[in-house]
Amino acid sequence: MSSGKSWLGKELAERTGYQFTDLDTVFEERYRLSILDFFSKYGEALFRDLESRLLHETASLSQAIISTGGGAPCWPGNMQFILKAGISVYLKMPLPELLQRIRRIKKKRPLLINIPHDRLEDYIKTQLAEREAFYNQANFAFSGPDYPVEEILRTVFSSRATFST
């Protein structure tokens, strides 16, 4: 959440000529409802199931960069699918920077909407601790907040031959 996945995905797509797909955007377009409103109306479990279906639909895309939501890799079977379908990149954001970004957009995130300001840091630490096992399965990890775009391009795209997609 707020690590820069969409920004970096767009940047990589522009530089490579690949298609960029943001799963959150696809979700909102498909279901004609913001993720925040969907969570409020139908709950997280249904959201994650539908998000997972959308993720699996991306397997039909070629030369595509997919930005998932932060919780997508943690839903049962999703990380295994991601690793089988392509190359996975984990964007590691230092906690202070992550908190600063999240505080700016807190009202837009369904998992954060009811978290008091003074409990946000603890909540984010807990979320990261729970999700880290999934994120650490990624083929590559890069640290932010200033992601080395050229290094990511060289590293990820030079490794493509070693991965079956």
Write the CA distances from 29 to 1, 20, 97, 118, 160, integer angstroms.
20, 15, 30, 34, 31
Find, among 105, 111, 106, 104, the residue nearest to 126 by Cα. Answer: 111
The pTM of the full predicted model, rounded to 2 decimals, is: 0.87
140's enclosing H/E stretch is strand 140-143
When pLDDT is cut at 50, 70 and 90, the band that residue 164 belongs to is: very low
pLDDT tens-place string over residues 31-80 = 999 999 999 999 999 999 999 999 999 989 999 999 999 999 999 999 99
Task: Give the three-class secondary structure for 64.
Answer: strand
Tokens of 144: 């932010």
Q: Domains of the chain, with CATH numbers? A: 5-145 (3.40.50.300)
